[in-house]
Amino acid sequence: MSEAMDFVAHFNERQKGSLPGHLGFNWTKIEKGIAEGWFEVKPHHFAPNGFLHAGSVVTLADTACGYGCVASMPEGGTGFTTIELKSNFLGTAREGKVNVTAKLVHGGRSTQVWDATVTSAASGKTMALFRCTQQILYPR
């Protein structure tokens, strides 16, 4: 993908019909080293216990890191796969917007490490801290 590509428009369109599209993710910034987005809390984001499902939060953070990885792909890289992820949950939201900011911590030839912070737009409080490692794929 080219440096001049509009990654926000590309991924907002490309995710339609897939899990990020179903969950209603919206992207506002995707460029080398950073990705930002959000979703509006809806009933399908909840677990049966009435609280925001951890998977909704992890999927937001992981998607932000993945889209950021694509925008930060090293020369010759053709894709990536997640090889490790971890989340710490610090709070929740039952309504309003949930925001994410993902930042590249390490951008090597064979791996990228990303940190993401998920926050409640209403309270401004951090809901989750997320870290993942991406393996960069090359043609054989």
Predicted local distance difference test score (pLDDT) of residue 3: 54
Averaged confidence pLDDT in the chain: 96
For the chain, list the domains and their CATH numbers. Answer: 7-137 (3.10.129.10)
Predicted local distance difference test score (pLDDT) of residue 1: 54
Nearest to 85 by CA among 119, 42, 114: 114
63-74 confidence digits (pLDDT tens): 999 999 999 999
Share of the chain above pLDDT 70, in %: 97
Collapsing DSSP to helix, strand or coil, 61 comes out as helix
53-94 confidence digits (pLDDT tens): 999 999 999 999 999 999 999 999 999 999 999 999 999 999
Residue with tokens 């909704």: 56
Share of the chain above pLDDT 90, in %: 96
- In the structure, what pLDDT confidence band is assigned to residue 110 with cuts at 50, 70 and 90? very high
- Gyration radius of the chain over CA positions: 15
Global pTM reads 0.95
